[in-house]
Amino acid sequence: MRKITRFERFLGPENYRVLVGLFKTPASIAGFILISFFILVALAAPVLAPPVTPSDPYSIPRDGFKSQPREMGSEWTKNVPDIPFWYKAVTGNDEWVHLFGTAQGQYDIYYGVIWGTRTAFKTGLLVVISTLLIGVIVGSVSAYYGGLVDNIIMRFVDVLLVLPTLMATLILAAVLTPVIGRSTLPVLISLIAFGWLGYARIIRGDILSLKERDYVLAARVIGNTDSRILFRHIIPNAIFPTLVLASLAIGDVVLSFAALSFLGIGVQVGYADWGQVLAFARNWISSLDTYWYIIAWPGLALVLYVMGFNLVGDALRDVLDPKMRGKV
């Protein structure tokens, strides 16, 4: 008979099975490695790329105003950042250089990639957590009370789901940007406004199948309030499929934010975001044989970041799928 560890007893058998299953497949391990790497980069951003203006660290420093990009390893001449302790030992240079080159307008690509990692985590987690909370609450209320409440809420959700999400987000962000000003806020509001719909639909379906279970009926009989039944007994047992969708959505949110930033919507020019850095390469697409680095570095960061979360999300989906039990 297998001995139950303290850690397993603390997590519970089901949660322990999920956690162990996540570390059994090479794909999920690769995903965790990628995510851990980006977490370390985000935490160490002030050391890896010291900001020229500490009060505005997300502003990419410029080394002049010329339109033509400069090659990797070219020397800094203006707005030179402080040299961190690791720099000389790793690069062998006494002077700070543009490690990844510069983009159009002499924006330092290396700085944009490093601090863009923080932007990716900030936007991805904020949007996913916000949309998850809204979707879970709306979907739970709709399913639990049913009837007219369910009809009104779900018809509203259906109308919004008809709209192409990215296009609707783009239009709303474009409308909000002149009102709020250029920042991450218009894009974040737009992504949240259309991002909770899928969560509401999924958790509604799961709760409809759970609310007539014996343990829910027993909770009603002994006098538990609707809120206690919903948040204590129903949602914890229905939320797993929604969590899988949320884990997969982090990469999609970052891609959407980068796409809107690439189009010039939301953030101001020079903001440390991978989409913004890629936008600097638009006028040099025909010269990528020479200026390949202006797309390669931010593009690689974006691809690996999204891949990491998608690999973990796929593994989580397989672990939570009853049909896959015993295979992962």
CATH code of residue 285: 1.10.3720.10
Cα 62 to Cα 42, 110, 267, 271: the distances in Å are: 21, 12, 17, 11
Q: What are phi and psi of 157, to 5 degrees?
A: -65, -40
Domain that holds residue 178: 18-324
What's the average model confidence in pLDDT over 93-120? Answer: 90
pLDDT bracket for residue 219 (50, 70, 90) = confident
pLDDT tens per residue across span 182-194: 888 999 999 999 9
Share of the chain above pLDDT 90, in %: 25
For residue 237, being part of any structural domain is answered with yes
For residue 5, being part of any structural domain is answered with no
- Average pLDDT, whole number, for the chain? 84
How many domains does the chain divide into?
Answer: 1
CB atoms within 10 A of CB 104: 17
Examine the pLDDT at 223 and tell me if it is beyond 70. yes
Which residue, 199, 180, 38, 57, is CA-closest to 120?
38
Answer whether 132's CB lies under 8 Å from 199's CB: yes
For residue 12, being part of any structural domain is answered with no
Give the integer Cα–Cα distance in Å for 213 and 322. 19
Examine the pLDDT at 264 and tell me if it is beyond 70. yes
For residue 71, being part of any structural domain is answered with yes
For residue 152, being part of any structural domain is answered with yes
Examine the pLDDT at 323 and tell me if it is beyond 60. no
pLDDT bracket for residue 116 (50, 70, 90) = very high
Give the integer Cα–Cα distance in Å for 130 and 33. 26
